[in-house]
């Protein structure tokens, strides 16, 4: 079977491990099994963003592991509300500021991807899937970024959070996915680079069964300045130590669920630094008080509390 596919899509096969199975070509459609589809999208994202080279676990001079980090911005009140009760919270994809989040990849890829979900045909099963998809928007290259402070850090009055993560642990999870977002200007180039579709092969359509996961890593280029690294959580019913609460988003006036992970849950991101924004109220007092709270609650947990060095933003 693999040789037959190699004859029809030679350059695609050269990009995928030749020992990979589970791809089937039938009547101009290319079908994937779960493992091969995941490999397809991970390599597509790698080609578009170069993320693999940034995602390795390294060692310091003493041989200790140096895990990679991501940062994210949020309001001070939102952070404190969850931090003081030891919860991590993720927002449903419906509550995000990009109104095309749920369907972006289907809208952008046209005939190259034969998707199973379209906005005009959305049904109750697809609505349920969307409402079990939660994200945390982070970045690798936006630490102390004034634009991010203004957009997502409550105009400098919020906080920046630095998280550490173990990519090996996340790769073994069937609920969490941490990858960079591909913005649509890069999408067709990445598909072309991965598939190398010649004119004779452009008639092939790719049929995916796991777009309910991978479609959330493709966004409009209008948001490209964010250079987002996205943590996606796919909720499963009766997951221990995770609760679902329905809320109304005050900013966008949308009703949607949030997922709340309590302290017993092994959340894949570990908080390492809290950076108070340049316009955060009572910076020195809050730095002192958060430090004391951490010592009281976590003893020697290694969470630093800092103040943003930005000085020239009103």
Euclidean distance between CA atoms 28 and 297, whole angstroms = 60
Tell me, yes or no, whether 153 lies in a domain: yes
- Provide the pLDDT for residue 190: 60
Tell me, yes or no, whether 268 lies in a domain: yes
Euclidean distance between CA atoms 261 and 225, whole angstroms = 29
- For residue 285, give the 3-state DSSP assignment: helix
- Provide the pLDDT for residue 301: 67
- Provide the pLDDT for residue 123: 78
What are the CA-CA distances from residue 67 to residues 12, 114, 162, 163, 203 (Å)? 32, 37, 12, 10, 43
Euclidean distance between CA atoms 266 and 257, whole angstroms = 21
Euclidean distance between CA atoms 176 and 242, whole angstroms = 13
What is the DSSP annotation of 75-142?
-HHHHHHHHTTT-EEEEEGGGSS-TTGGGHHHHHHTTSEE-S--GGG--HHHHHHHTTEEEEEEESS-
Tell me, yes or no, whether 313 lies in a domain: no
- Provide the pLDDT for residue 116: 44
- Provide the pLDDT for residue 252: 82
Tell me, yes or no, whether 22 lies in a domain: yes
Tell me, yes or no, whether 234 lies in a domain: yes
Tell me, yes or no, whether 191 lies in a domain: yes
- Provide the pLDDT for residue 115: 42
- For residue 172, give the 3-state DSSP assignment: coil
Tell me, yes or no, whether 245 lies in a domain: yes
Ordered per-residue pLDDT tens for the chain, 314 residues? 334 333 444 444 444 443 444 566 666 677 777 888 888 788 778 877 878 755 666 766 777 778 899 999 999 999 999 999 889 999 999 888 777 776 655 555 544 444 444 445 567 888 899 999 999 999 988 889 999 999 999 999 999 999 999 988 998 999 999 999 988 666 656 655 555 543 334 556 667 788 889 889 988 888 888 999 999 999 999 899 999 999 998 888 899 999 999 989 999 999 999 999 999 999 999 999 999 999 988 766 689 999 999 988 87
CA angle 206, 34, 11 (to 5 degrees): 45
pTM of the model: 0.83
The answer to whether the beta carbons of residues 179 and 230 sit under 8 Å apart is: yes
Q: What is the pLDDT of residues 218-229, one digit of tens each?
A: 888 888 889 999
Q: What is the pLDDT of residues 37-61, one digit of tens each?
A: 888 788 778 877 878 755 666 766 7
Domain count, the chain: 1
- Provide the pLDDT for residue 7: 43
- Provide the pLDDT for residue 108: 53
- Provide the pLDDT for residue 194: 52
31 sits in which H/E element: strand 29-32
Tell me, yes or no, whether 314 lies in a domain: no
For residue 116, give its domain range.
2-307
- Provide the pLDDT for residue 14: 45
């Amino acid at each position: 079977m693999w040789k037959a596919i190699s004859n029809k899509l030679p350059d695609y096969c050269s990009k995928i491990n030749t020992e990979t199975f589970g791809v089937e070509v039938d009547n101009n459609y290319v079908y994937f099994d779960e493992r091969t589809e995941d490999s397809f999208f991970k390599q597509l994202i790698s080609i578009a963003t170069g993320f693999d080279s940034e995602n390795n676990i390294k060692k310091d001079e003493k041989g200790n592991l140096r895990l990679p980090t991501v940062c994210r911005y949020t309001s001070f009140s939102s952070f404190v509300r969850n931090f003081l009760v030891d919860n991590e919270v993720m927002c449903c994809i419906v509550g995000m500021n990009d109104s095309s989040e749920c369907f972006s990849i289907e809208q952008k890829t046209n005939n190259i991807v034969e998707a199973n979900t379209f906005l005009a045909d959305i049904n109750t099963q697809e609505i349920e899937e969307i409402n079990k998809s939660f994200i945390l928007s982070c970045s690798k290259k936006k630490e102390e970024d004034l634009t991010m402070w203004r957009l997502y850090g409550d105009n400098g009055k919020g906080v920046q959070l630095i998280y550490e993560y173990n990519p090996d642990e996340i790769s073994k999870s069937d609920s969490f996915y941490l990858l960079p977002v591909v913005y649509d200007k890069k999408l067709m180039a990445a598909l072309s680079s991965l598939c190398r579709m010649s004119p004779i092969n452009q008639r092939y359509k790719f049929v995916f069964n796991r777009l309910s996961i991978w479609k959330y890593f493709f966004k409009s280029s209008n948001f490209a300045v964010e250079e987002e690294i996205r943590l996606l959580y796919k909720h499963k019913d009766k997951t221990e130590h995770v609760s679902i609460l329905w809320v109304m988003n005050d900013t966008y006036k949308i009703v949607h669920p949030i997922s709340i992970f309590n302290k017993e849950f092994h959340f894949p991101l570990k908080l390492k630094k809290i950076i108070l924004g340049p316009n955060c109220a009572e910076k020195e007092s809050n730095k002192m008080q958060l430090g004391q709270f951490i010592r009281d609650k976590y003893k020697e947990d290694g969470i630093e509390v800092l103040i943003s060095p930005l000085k020239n933003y009103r």
